[in-house]
A and B are shown apart, each in its own frame.
Chain A
């Protein structure tokens, strides 16, 4: 055997030519896991905002509980709204943040000359977004139990459905924002923090969609988040799980995720044409 063959590290043949690879996705999750573990502000950030939101709206809810008969019937609607809204917001933001971390560290060039495919990359961004959102929500939800004697887990399996639907919508928005960064560079970065808030008022997070002006309601019903929050209120007030609302939410999720992913992949190809993969940086 030649010296070359003896010294050459063995490579796994499986998956190398496939577009998605669990090994490569895992490697990228490890990369972001290392980043979070090495930085206490990042670890803190995962739970900070969900907790702050919970405290703010939790105490607001407690005040209204003594002043509003509707809220007495819908006890927990505001707290649940806060927690679930944060799932959407964090999911979107965390997809974008994982992407930004590669841009900030000028690592995109290294990543895309490795066997990492753009599909692996998108899958990893979504997985890390989901993991961070789950941790943030869990901490805040557990905190709500001793503070407000409210457990969002009482919703049972409906909570899983709500969480999943909002997570997917967050992924879709997050991927679309990454596409903007590919195209317009870090000038578009502020979109990551503002995009989800633009849809908050019309998603019926804290009030029914029927509260909105009539002309705005069709826009609300075009968003998966509106169906989730209506479903959440149905679960809390009527104690019923509205499968029809969830079906609409998931259907719209698929549409938005397909659009977000298409934008992400198209922007990647555009960056390859315009030479932006080596130029993105701080």
Chain B
């Protein structure tokens, strides 16, 4: 376990270039244990690229990223059992049933009693009635709950979520947010999520990293950001920043 002063995630000078395109430029941030932090920004702001580097799926062009004090470029295998991830950009095999997918991933994550754990999650996430259905035949809401079940199989100390409620109806999205709140309260896990959804971020997150064009342009608690920009909610702050009025507003 990290010492109290060691952040769960520490990024230093993190940069990613794809040939001439700079996707993320020299960002620095730290995520403290037990907090929920949002990467907030428009399309192409660098949120998914940043999460990919945190996961070690993507090698930075410069800088470093450590998770639980471990360098993700060199020793990611040591900490991956303590992490998990969910994203609308990846899928589970469509032809496998939900149960089969969860069993396979349970074994991959080294969960000892996989069937008991799947049963527990199936009850928690209300997917017990779809365990025998092919994953490819599920609705968007069901897929999201199954992806969340996969992401919680190992009860991760660090959970990374890329747009966890994208494409969900308001009711399902609200249910997912409620579940994540409960999960963090119960386990004390750290969560880093990327989102476009301002109300989601206001509700779930302790801190926000505002990104624009690959840079972190502001940080702070949602309430502090709203107050600093003199706005009524985070959405207005987001629009200020996205439309480059942030400098004026800050002054």
Contacts and interface: CB of A to CB of B under 8 A. Distances in A.
Interface of A: 3-4, 7-12, 15-17, 19, 23-24, 26-28, 30-31, 34-35, 38-39, 101-102, 105-117, 269, 272-275, 277-278, 281
B183 to A, nearest CB: 10
A94 B56 CA distance: 28
Interface string B58-95: 11000000000000000001101101110101111111
Given A4-B187, A274-B18, A9 B49 contact: no
A278 B92 contact: no
A12 B55 CA distance: 21
A95 B18 CA distance: 30
A114 B93 contact: no
B78 to A, nearest CB: 5
20 contacts: A7-B187, A9-B112, A9-B154, A10-B111, A10-B113, A11-B109, A19-B77, A26-B107, A34-B95, A38-B134, A101-B93, A106-B89, A107-B92, A111-B108, A113-B56, A113-B85, A272-B57, A275-B49, A275-B57, A278-B52
Interface stretch (B97-105, B169-177, B216-224, B231-239): B97-105
Nearest to A39: B95
Contacts of B84: 113
Contact of B112 (A11, A28, A39): A11
Nearest to A272: B59
Most chain B beta-carbon neighbours within 10 Å: one of A11, A23, A102? A11
Nearest to A107: B93
Most chain A beta-carbon neighbours within 10 Å: one of B77, B90, B150, B186? B90
A35 B95 contact: yes
Interface of B: 16, 18, 48-49, 52, 55-59, 77-78, 80-81, 83-85, 87, 89-97, 100, 103-105, 107-113, 117, 134, 150, 153-155, 160, 186-188
A113 B80 contact: yes
B184 to A, nearest CB: 11
A12 to B, nearest CB: 4
B107 A30 contact: yes
Contact of A116 (B108, B155, B188): B108
Given A38-B96, A110-B92, A7 B155 contact: yes
A269 B76 CA distance: 13
B222 to A, nearest CB: 26
A27 B83 CA distance: 18
Contacts of B109: 11, 114-115
Which 4 residue pairs of A and B lie closest in terms of their CB atoms, listed nearest first? A27-B107, A109-B90, A106-B91, A12-B110
B96 A35 contact: yes
A114 to B, nearest CB: 4
B96 A12 contact: no
B155 A27 contact: no
Contact of A24 (B85, B97, B107, B113): B107
B80 A109 contact: no
A16 B57 contact: no
A14 B71 CA distance: 21
A149 to B, nearest CB: 40
Contacts of B153: 9
B57 A115 contact: no
B91 A31 contact: no
Contact of B81 (A30, A107, A115): A115
A112 B58 CA distance: 11
Nearest to A120: B108
Contact of B77 (A8, A12, A17): A17
A23 B83 CA distance: 18
Given A9-B154, A11-B81, A106-B90, A275 B110 contact: no
Contacts of A17: 77-78
B119 to A, nearest CB: 12
Contact of B187 (A8, A28, A107): A8
Nearest to A110: B90
B161 to A, nearest CB: 12
A27 B59 CA distance: 27
A117 B110 CA distance: 13
A31 B96 contact: yes
Nearest to B19: A274
Contact of A114 (B52, B59, B108, B155): B108
